[in-house]
Amino acid sequence: MDPEIAAVAREFELGVPIKSQHLNGGSASVLKLRTTLGDFVLKQGELERDLLLYHQVDVALNAVGVRQAHLFAKPDGRFLSSKAFSVFEFLPGHWNHRPTNTQAIAFVNHLVAYNRALSTIAVPSFVNDLDNVWKKANSVNFVLNRIPKWLVGLTVSVPARFEAVSRTIIAYWRQHRSDLDDLPNQLVHGDIGPGNILYGTENAIFIIDFTAYQEPPLYSLCVAFYWHYFYHSHRPRFDRIANDLAIYGSQQGFSGDEKQLFPTIFLKVATTILFVPLLLNLERGLSPLTQEWEKRANIVDAILSNQSKLGDAIESTGR
């Protein structure tokens, strides 16, 4: 057993360590630890401020029966070990890039309650700091002020398709920059992709790896739509989107502004995911395969070209 991991177990009083391993699909800084008291997830590099917010999320969700991985504290009340490890409850389940209808229904029902609970938590100012590539790509102002210059001076070769769609979506946001300004927003999970949705037994759903954003509640639903019904689908599934919106709307309802701006919210999600690889290349020298640049560009184009279909999908919810 790694001495650092054994020290974490002692500091958090997790029992005697038995085995530690990297989680499948997780980053190198995430481990599963088995001890005599059970299974735990260890993460390294989390910030104290993020853990304090997560603790609020943990308490608020579990208080209303929305199962969330518990964040453990040491006996002194702190959430970080001496080696900057944090400890979470391990929740069992499996991922599915293309959820079944039954799984989608369970997920959407879960997300309604999830977002409702998050709406009770004040959003700390740091949530809107542009301190990583995802937050930068999610800022319309950042995209409009920085990306056009970078596209001109690129030293990495990107597909012509990516450049063309990038310029198209930038032109779109120049025209629609303020469209979402007056839409109510709240604390949401901004990274609800397949790897962060676990399907357990008897349709149990767990949403993990909370990533704090301040956006309309529909934002988190659009993130899931992007990955489920565009990225990991053989073709865009507007029928599945309509079905999921009907389920969500039957419980929560949609305002007139939400219905009108749903396609725009979806485009913001797609724009963010489009530009993350570019920022990763510029800041860290990482470059995805050609087909990855093109795939994300094609999804933006599909969403932009089908605004009326998306509008019809949410209008048909009837609320």
Examine the domain organization and report whether 196 and 264 are in the same domain: yes
Distance of CA 246 to the CA centre of its chain: 21
Distance of CA 106 to the CA centre of its chain: 18
Sign of CA dihedral 96, 198, 226, 42: negative
- Would you state the structure tokens that stand for residue 90, as one six-digit string? 């391990």
Q: Which amino acid is at 2?
A: D
Q: How far apart are CA 67 and CA 178, in angstroms?
A: 36
The count of structural domains within the chain is: 2
Where residue 18 sits, what CATH number does that domain have? 3.30.200.20
Domain end residue (candidates: 32, 67, 89): 89
Looking at residue 151, its pLDDT comes to 86
Residues contacting residue 155 through CB under 8 Å, at least 6 positions apart: none
- Would you state the structure tokens that stand for residue 69, as one six-digit string? 């991985």
Q: How far apart are CA 182 and CA 205, in angstroms?
A: 32
Q: What is the pLDDT of residues 158-216, one digit of tens each?
A: 889 999 999 999 999 999 999 999 999 999 999 999 889 999 888 889 999 999 999 99
| Residues spanned by the domain of 10 | 3-89
Residues found in the chain: 319
Q: Please state, as a whole number, how many other Cβ atoms lie within 10 Å of the Cβ of residue 38.
A: 11
Cα angle, residue 254 at apex, residues 252 and 260 outer, rounded to 5°: 160
Q: Which residues of the chain have pLDDT under 70?
A: 24-28, 155-156, 318-319
Domain end residue (candidates: 89, 124, 155): 89
Closest to 265 measured CA to CA, from 213, 200, 316: 213
Coil, strand or helix at 197: strand
Give me the helices (H) in 36-176, please.
48-63, 101-118, 133-138, 140-152, 160-176
Q: How far apart are CA 26 and CA 150, in angstroms?
A: 31
- Give domain status of residue 96, yes or no: no
Q: What is the pLDDT of residues 29-50, one digit of tens each?
A: 799 999 999 999 999 989 999 9
Looking at residue 153, its pLDDT comes to 72
**What's the predicted TM-score (pTM) here?**
0.94
- Give domain status of residue 95, yes or no: no
